[in-house]
Amino acid sequence: MKIGIIANKNFSEQIDPFFRKFLEWLNRHEVDFCVEAEFAGVAGYPRGMPLPEMLEKAELLIVLGGDGTILRAARLMGKRQIPMLGIRFGRLGFLAELSGKTWEKELRDILAGKYHIDERMVLETHVNTYDETYYALNDIVLLRSPSSRLLTTEVFVDGEYMNTFRSDGIIVATPTGSTAYSLSSGGPIVTPGMNAFIINPICPHMLSNRPMVISGDCGISIRFREHSDGCVLSFDGQQDTPVEPDTLIRVRRADHKVSLVRSEHSNFFSVVRNKLNWN
């Protein structure tokens, strides 16, 4: 099995000591691997491989860094998804499977085939003023400009009028994204395997405006009508696109999914209890 290694170069100081030990471990266990060129240059590894070439050759991606790095890798892969295994380094995260401190035994089992694939829904977004398709694993977020004025958004589901929200913005999240920005905005936790979207206004002016969970088979349309300032549409909090008043944003479930490698003993509820410090 050919393994590709992607890492967050912004955390190179944390990852570097582990990275060298990790490569020694892979060589000792005769694992065939390649390292993304961008991180290889930062880490001083001489044989980096350009990402497009890596995505053609690798059968498994090991992602060093955390959830943000996994989100980046998923976006860069687009429709050609390769199973990903995350190794995290501190901070809160729900996507990375292994810890940088306790990874060896679990990785040995995974390389021996003792794992399962966890498939996650992806959002596909079209903006009528751009000739481009955007993908997001967690969420798309429409945010108001820095002014203090509330954003007024009209939301339609399968062409049927749902509601007009006056708020700081609006989140459309996948079940994966239910534990991200949507959770901090009062949204529900949705189990990853559900075919569902969460529509969640951010700090709505009316207390009666609540998050709503709808079928993932639906199409969502969002339009905002404010004429004073523009807004920003954010994809997984990593890619921002400016949008102007009367822009129509269409969101649907993408045809492809993101594949995450999980150990045989992985359990979503155990992860949630641990990350949220439930008793």
Q: Does the pTM exceed 0.85?
A: yes
Lowest-confidence region among 65-69, 88-92, 134-138, 142-146 = 88-92
| Superfamily for the 123-253 domain | Probable inorganic polyphosphate/atp-NAD kinase; domain 2 (2.60.200.30)
Give Rg (Cα) of the chain.
20
* Residues of the chain above pLDDT 90, percent: 65
Separation CA 171–CA 199 (nearest Å) = 6
Average pLDDT, the chain: 90
Phi, psi of 185 (to 5 degrees): -100, 15
pLDDT of 49 > 60? The answer is: yes
Distance CA 152, CA 171 (A): 13
Q: Indicate if the pLDDT at residue 12 is higher than 80.
A: no
Catalytic residue among 67, 118, 139, 236: 67
Domain boundaries, given as residue ranges, for the chain: 2-121+257-275, 123-253
Annotated active-site residue 255? The verdict is: no
CATH topology (fold) of 2-121+257-275? Rossmann fold (3.40.50)
pLDDT tens digits, one per residue of 52-85: 899 899 999 999 988 999 999 998 888 888 999 9
**Contact status, residue 110 vs residue 261, Cβ threshold 8 Å:** yes
- Supply the pLDDT for residue 99: 84
Whether the predicted pLDDT of 137 surpasses 80:
yes
pLDDT digits (tens, 9 = 90+) for 238-261: 999 999 888 999 999 999 999 999
Write the CA distances from 182 to 61, 199, 233, integer angstroms. Answer: 27, 9, 15
Pick the residue with more confidence: 30 or 66? 30
Q: Is 67 helix (H, G, I), strand (E, B) or coil?
A: helix
- Confidence band (pLDDT; 50, 70, 90) for 45? confident
Token duo for residue 237: 């909090």
* Cα 252 to Cα 265: distance, rounded to the nearest angstrom: 32
